[in-house]
Structure 1
Amino acid sequence: MNAPANPGKAAQLHAALRVIRLHPEDDVVIARDQLVAGTTLDEEDVTVLGLVPPGHKVATRAIGAGEAVRRYGQIIGFASQDIRPGQHVHTHNLAMGDFTRDYAYGADARAPEPVPAPATFAGIVRADGRVATRNYIGILTSVNCSATVARAIADHFRRDIHPEALAAYPNVDGVVALTHGVGCAVDPQGEGLALLQRTLGGYACHPNFASVLVIGLGCETNQISALLATQGLAHDDRLQTFTIQDSGGTTRTIARGIAMIQEMLPAANAVQRQPVPASHLVVGLQCGGSDGYSGISANPVLGAAVDLLVRHGGTAILSETPEIYGAEHLLTRRAQTPEIGRKLVARIRWWEDYCARHGASMDNNPSAGNKAGGLTTVLEKSLGGIAKGGSANLAEVYEYAQPVRARGLVFMDTPGYDPISATGQVAGGANLICFTTGRGSAYGCAPSPSVKLATNTALWQRQSDDMDLNCGAVLDGSATIGGLGEELFRLMLDTASGKRSRSELHGYGQNEFVPWQLSAIT
């Protein structure tokens, strides 16, 4: 089976070319701008038939109904009707279909190439040796019922509302309340509660929190005592808990919480950044609001940066299992061992069964916005999505919110919905998120900073207030995948050292905490 084209080749296209060819065997090319009927694509010897929006696909040969259609040298679907050369290829004539994938476990794995002098960033070294990229105090809730008081406590320390509250604590990045909508009316022995507890446990001990306060109602299924016990946590100066019912109601709870945070602040402020190796960087990889350019520009740029990160000893977490569906064979071929590859396939099979039980389809993606941007099937989206993982070996596969211990490129099983996916990554230890978007997603991820990458220059010009890096330069030939990958790697290090990302400047991050809920609510 052919490997995907080297994405760096797209960067070498001459600016005058109207379309992008990603692989010699592809049946489609990608429009760089809007094409109208009668446009001659000299490089393909094809005349466009009808309107083709930017980022969308144009057929370069006659494709019979039922035939496979390829992009990146891989199958992205099957023609649902005859397609003529020059026609727009999209949802009206391209559909999902089943086909055999060759998993060839480990066939493409290769020895890593370490660098002679690893890069460093200015990190915060915790007492246990773990390294933080931010220094927050966190307020977690055991149940939805305590969300309001948690928010009220955090709001007391908001610098934009009460600048005096943290004036004496310049080394504290803020006090954030991460609330959720579950925690009760679930099976106390079920998978859903266990998943919630694992997620909360991961956040409670995350190095980006100097200290954590957990607040409950008191009578919920997700009892704080059980949460601590299942996660191996204990009360100390860094971790405190209490409930609304034991505190005597809402007003007293808020006052008590404010007083407890004030007691935590001096110790939290007593930190200094120091040079640490890039091996302490754990980056969660996300893409949202994807378009037809995502797999050509921003995702490969992120993949190039990931390859550099792995060479420097760091870790990257690829996720969103439904959005690698149909492309998982390209990861199993890079698995360091057959066992790791089989773990990934087992998660794919779990998702197939999960969707079947709920009467859903693995092709419920792409979203409406993805389709408007040029993506037609989940196969096409997946092939572009895995480019975020670069070319490194697949070092391990984790279930949702499990602690990530391995170094290198790893995979965590999560849904494709970005807030749920990134929540699992941060629970697993991600201290930085890199998020690519072609449509303009609004996103942040406290306590870990989130760096946003625009796939195209039009988005950058329209929404640069939300973006940290423009990868659209790849499309116009003014930059290369490798060059922007190096720039992004430096941006990762700068952000980990304390440079605030655009989403942080806007205050994103608290509302995007969304644990994955699996249990039936009764």
Structure 2
Amino acid sequence: MNDTFKGFLRNDGKVGVRNHIAIIPSVFCSAKVAERIAYQVPGCVYFRHPVGCSQVGEDLEITAKTLISIGKNPNFAGVVVVGLGCERFSPYELAEGIAPANKMLETVVIQKEGDSLAAIQKGSRIAREMQQIASRQVREEVPVSELTIGLNCGGSDMTSGLIANPALGHASDRLVKNGGTSLLSEITELLGTEEILARRAVNAEVSNDILETVRRTEEKLFRQTQQSSNIERTHLISKGNYDGGLSSVVEKSLGSMKKSGKASFSGVVSYGEQPKSKGLYLLDSPGHDGEVSTGQVAAGAQMILFPTGRGTPTGFPGVPVIKITGNPNTYQRMQENIDINAGEVLLGNQTLEEMGEGIYQEIIEVASGKQVKAEILGHDEQFCVTRLP
């Protein structure tokens, strides 16, 4: 079996599986200019968000850490930071945070350039020059230990916990065993499994960190649900989950944790930060698909593995999202959105282990350049910086 892939070596020692130029606004006021720059130059991706100003304290700190870490992700050969000029999170602070990654980096400030048109013109020229340089870089063979994957899911049904998630867990175990890194998140969808996860910790400190992470989430959810006047809005699973055969958040959590396989947890990662070493990590994050994926990409994930029983088309800018379904009916309906039909296990055509091995090989192929369906169709909805409640 192949345990290497062909990626783009970066100056900071990391490896990208894509070679895009990222256009990152420091504030929502510069988002449209960033978008226009990206549209001018093929190979660019941009990151629209509604934050960067009128935030204080930890709320602004999370925004800063997340945007900086997104810019450092090795899938991006270069970054153009686009600022307005008067925002609380300065574009220069964003650029300075990205700078240690030692990649192509420039800053465009709308108020300094004079207006939107001037900023778009300058940013487009810079992005074109970066893209020309990036286009000359070739892929090189590297071990899978250079890979970090995010484990996310959305639109779950009864087949997710039975088939797609455990098959992905097998693939995650293979990657971790070969020295790679895997990130489990969606804390709101792990409630009730914390004791099980804690027993898989490498030491007592990590075990306590896992228990404390889940405890904090439970306390936050309790406060939020006490304030709601609509009982339907206090449910932790969606109507689609119920319709798909899931009976409770406990059942959903027991299925969700299977994405992480059986490997030991090396630690817990805060939102907007990166693991200190290789292995399986728990990433502290809300359960919203976009906030989860964004946190994982900020933590260094070069791709996202995304089981979906009900089906979803969403993707992430510049980061491949591999869609997996354990429901053969969903695959038939959404073949243009789903990459892997794990429903073959349900039909008796493959074992969970065989499907897991197939997912592992798909990870390697995608890391080496194979496009996933979300990329081909231009889906980029999953970028979403979290905010404090």
Same fold (TM > 0.5): yes
The answer to whether the 8 A contact 2:11-2:103 is kept is: no
**Partner of residue 451, structure 1:** 322
Q: Distance in 1 between matches of 2:191 and 2:372?
A: 31
How has the CA–CA distance of structure 1 residues 387 and 214 changed in structure 2, closer, same or farther, with 3 Å as cutoff? same
Q: Distance in 2 between matches of 1:284 and 1:235?
A: 21
Secondary structure of residue in 1 paired with 2:276 = coil
**Partner of residue 164, structure 2:** 298
Secondary structure of residue in 2 paired with 1:241 = strand
Q: Count the aligned residue pairs.
A: 384
TM-score (norm 1): 0.71
2:236 to 355, 365, 368: 365
**Partner of residue 86, structure 1:** none
CA-to-partner distance for each residue in 1:51-99, whole Å, 9 max, x for gaps? Answer: xxxxxxxxxxxxxxxxxxxxxxxxxxxxxxxxxxxxxxxxxxxxxxxxx
**Partner of residue 67, structure 1:** none
**Partner of residue 388, structure 2:** 518
Secondary structure of residue in 2 paired with 1:233 = helix
**Partner of residue 53, structure 2:** 184
How has the CA–CA distance of structure 1 residues 468 and 496 changed in structure 2, closer, same or farther, with 3 Å as cutoff? same
1:496 aligns with 2:372: no
1:507 aligns with 2:356: no
Q: Distance in 1 between matches of 2:199 and 2:70?
A: 33
Q: Distance in 2 between matches of 1:263 and 1:461?
A: 43
* 1:423-502 mapped onto 2 (5 Å cutoff): 423-502=294-373
Q: Distance in 1 between matches of 2:129 and 2:140?
A: 25
Q: Distance in 1 between matches of 2:352 and 2:313?
A: 24
Q: Please provide the CA RMSD for this pair.
A: 1.8
**Aligned AA (1:351):** T
* 1:301-320 mapped onto 2 (5 Å cutoff): 301-320=167-186
- Shift in Å, 1:415: 0.8
Q: Distance in 1 between matches of 2:21 and 2:194?
A: 38
How has the CA–CA distance of structure 1 residues 495 and 177 changed in structure 2, closer, same or farther, with 3 Å as cutoff? same
Percent sequence identity is 40
Ranges in structure 1 where 5+ consecutive residues have no aligned partner: 1-116, 159-173
**Partner of residue 392, structure 1:** 263
Which protein is bigger by CA-based radius of gyration?
Answer: 1
**Aligned AA (1:501):** V
**Partner of residue 270, structure 1:** 136
Secondary structure of residue in 2 paired with 1:395 = strand
The answer to whether the 8 A contact 1:302-1:388 is kept is: yes
Ranges in structure 2 where 5+ consecutive residues have no aligned partner: none
Secondary structure of residue in 2 paired with 1:410 = strand
Q: Distance in 1 between matches of 2:187 and 2:32?
A: 33
Q: Distance in 2 between matches of 1:236 and 1:373?
A: 46
The answer to whether the 8 A contact 2:269-2:282 is kept is: yes
The answer to whether the 8 A contact 2:71-2:98 is kept is: no
**Partner of residue 247, structure 1:** 113
**Partner of residue 198, structure 1:** 65
1:351 aligns with 2:222: no
Secondary structure of residue in 2 paired with 1:122 = strand
The answer to whether the 8 A contact 1:228-1:234 is kept is: no
Higher relative CO (CA 8 A, sep ≥ 6), structure 1 or 2? 2
**Aligned AA (2:32):** T
Q: Distance in 2 between matches of 1:488 and 1:235?
A: 30
CA-to-partner distance for each residue in 1:21-79, whole Å, 9 max, x for gaps? Answer: xxxxxxxxxxxxxxxxxxxxxxxxxxxxxxxxxxxxxxxxxxxxxxxxxxxxxxxxxxx
2:31 to 132, 139, 147: 147
Q: Distance in 1 between matches of 2:274 and 2:266?
A: 14
More helix by share: 2
Secondary structure of residue in 1 paired with 2:152 = strand
Q: Distance in 1 between matches of 2:141 and 2:102?
A: 28
1:339 aligns with 2:205: yes
The answer to whether the 8 A contact 1:140-1:178 is kept is: yes
